Structures are given as C-alpha cells and as structure tokens.
C-alpha cells in the first residue's frame, strides 16, 4: 500500500511541477528586438512632440515606427496616447486590436480597448455643468 501511495504522490508531484513549468513558459515576456539608433532618436523626437501637445507630429513619427516594430510596447503606448489625445478613437481601436494580435492573452489590451470605448462615448455625449445630459 505504501508503494501505491508513493507512486501516486510522485505522479501528483510531477504533474504540479510540469504544470508550473508550462504556465511559467507561457508567461515569459516576449523579447523586444533591438532598436536602431535612428529609431531611438525618432522615438525621442515623438515623445518631445507629445510633451508639447503636438500629437499630429508625434503620430507622423510613431506610426511608421510601430509598423516596423509591431508589438513594441513603448511605441504602442505612445501612439495610443497620441491617438486618444486628439480623439482618433477609430485608429486607437485598430491599434489595440493589432497589439492584441501581436501579444494574445495579455489582458492589458482589453483594458486599453475599454478605455478607448469609454473615451469615444464621453466625447459623443453632451455635458452640462455638474451632470451628464
């Protein structure tokens, strides 16, 4: 009886270890490809435009950067911010969907999509002082 108990304990132990290994492997972040010096300078320029509220100029830089590096989280966040700052919610939705496809299973992008929908809804509703219409 103790042999059966020890075999079942060993099997249970192995199942737990293997399950943990599988889950850990799935949660490892995707490595970001190396970014060239030119792209780093372009990204810093886009961030500078964003700080000055020149989001159209930032978008002109960020869109090609993101297209060349789909899934890059820094480019994604900066581009999403600029889209939302100038109420380009349609483009923001497309961007979130593209990022979700690049990194499926990441719940952050579901939250981002919800934020885009919320902003879209808020911009389309008239507001009175103190209350919503």
Write the pLDDT tens digit of every residue in 65-123: 999 999 999 999 999 999 999 999 999 999 999 999 999 999 999 999 999 999 888 76
For residue 77, which phi and psi values (nearest 5 degrees)?
-65, -40
CATH of domain 37-125: 1.25.40.10
Residues 6 or more apart whose CB falls under 8 angstroms from that of 89 comprise: 83, 116, 119, 120, 123
Cut 0.85: pTM above it:
no
Question: What is the residue whose two structure tokens read 């939302």?
Answer: 84
95, 63 in Cβ contact below 8 A? Answer: no
Residue 35: pLDDT band (50, 70, 90) is confident
Cα→Cα distances 62→80, 90, 132, Å: 10, 16, 35
pLDDT at 121: 84
- The tokens describing 94, both together, are 């497309």
* Mean of all residue pLDDT scores within the chain: 81
For the chain, the structural domain boundaries read 37-125
* CA-closest candidate to residue 71, choices 97, 49, 110, 36: 97
């Amino acid at each position: 009886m103790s042999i059966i108990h020890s075999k079942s304990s060993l099997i249970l132990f192995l199942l737990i270890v293997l399950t943990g290994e599988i889950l850990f492997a799935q949660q490892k972040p995707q490595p970001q490809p190396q970014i060239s010096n030119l792209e780093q300078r372009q990204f810093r320029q886009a961030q500078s435009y964003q700080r000055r509220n020149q989001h159209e100029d930032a978008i002109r830089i960020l869109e090609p950067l993101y297209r060349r590096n789909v899934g890059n989280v820094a480019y994604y966040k900066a581009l999403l911010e600029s889209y939302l700052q100038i109420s380009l919610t349609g483009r923001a939705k497309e961007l979130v969907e593209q990022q979700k496809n690049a990194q499926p299973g990441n719940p952050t992008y579901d939250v981002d999509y919800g934020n885009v929908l919320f902003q879209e809804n808020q911009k389309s509703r008239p507001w009175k002082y103190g209350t919503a219409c």
